[in-house]
Amino acid sequence: MENFNEIEVDQTTFIAKIGAGQRLGNVALGIHEQGKRGLPHGTCPGVGIGGHATHGGYGYDSRLWGLALDTIFGLDVVFANGSIIYANETQNPDVYFAMRGAGDSFGIVTNFYMQTNEAPETVTYFTANLNETLKSIDQLTSAFLRTQDFVINSPLLTKNISFGFYTDNSGALSITGMCADPLAEPLDGYNIHDTFYAKSVVTKEAEPLTEEAANYE
């Protein structure tokens, strides 16, 4: 599929023709370079657009724009018998709706036609480290419930903001997300400081550091 690599944005309709061999990173760059356009999709740049878009395609901006699947205006599809058709809502609509969700069960997409959106001028990414909450079930439960309450009730949470939990088996837990707006109040720079006295210790190769010196208090 690597030869199906076209990325072309119609400057009137802003529908992008995207070859099914493209990967998300190249798609994002390609459409942004043609009028600062954007699409909802995942965050891993190496994922191919084909399976991603035909099965959903959730990403940080999905609260704002929906799934990658939702932006599909039309598709070029090859069937097992070798025939090729174009499908959209009015032309071969049964194929169009089947391919948007269960594509690999019906045919192979060679080109997507996707309705792009105007990309935000500024995007703010953020991460909140919650590793400390893993020390006890009570802390972890409290952190999750507080986050849940924020998501349900906070007036600050708009469709421009999206985030999710990240965890792994090494003891990491964080909230990572994005806001399709600039910071209302810029953060201060690195301001952690301490007062200390330091002395540089240099040892000669002929007289290396001794155990007594290394353990000196």
Q: The CATH number of the domain where 19 resides is what?
A: 3.30.465.10
For 40-79, what is each residue's pLDDT tens digit? Answer: 999 899 999 999 999 999 988 898 999 999 999 999 999 9
* Confidence category of residue 189, pLDDT binned at 50, 70, 90: low
Number of domains the chain contains = 2
CA angle 135, 140, 143 (to 5 degrees): 130
Residue 58: how many other CB atoms lie within 10 Å? 19
Asked if residue 20 has pLDDT above 90, the reply is yes
Tell me the mean pLDDT in the region 207-216: 66
Q: Is position 209 within any domain? A: no
The percentage of residues in the chain with a pLDDT greater than 70, rounded to a whole number, is 87
pTM: 0.75
Separation between Cα atoms, residue 1 and residue 47, nearest integer Å: 13
Residue 196 lies in a domain: no
Q: How confident is the model at residue 207 (pLDDT cuts 50, 70, 90)?
A: confident
- Considering the domain architecture, whether residues 60 and 149 belong to the same structural domain is answered as no
Residue 44 in any domain: the answer is yes
Mean per-residue pLDDT, 119-138: 89
134 and 171 Cβ atoms separated by less than 8 Å: yes
Stronger pLDDT, 159 or 91, i.e. the higher one: 91
| Confidence (pLDDT) at 182 | 78
Cα separation, 57 vs 23, in Å, equals: 12
Domain range for 171 is 124-179
Model confidence at 12: pLDDT above 60: yes
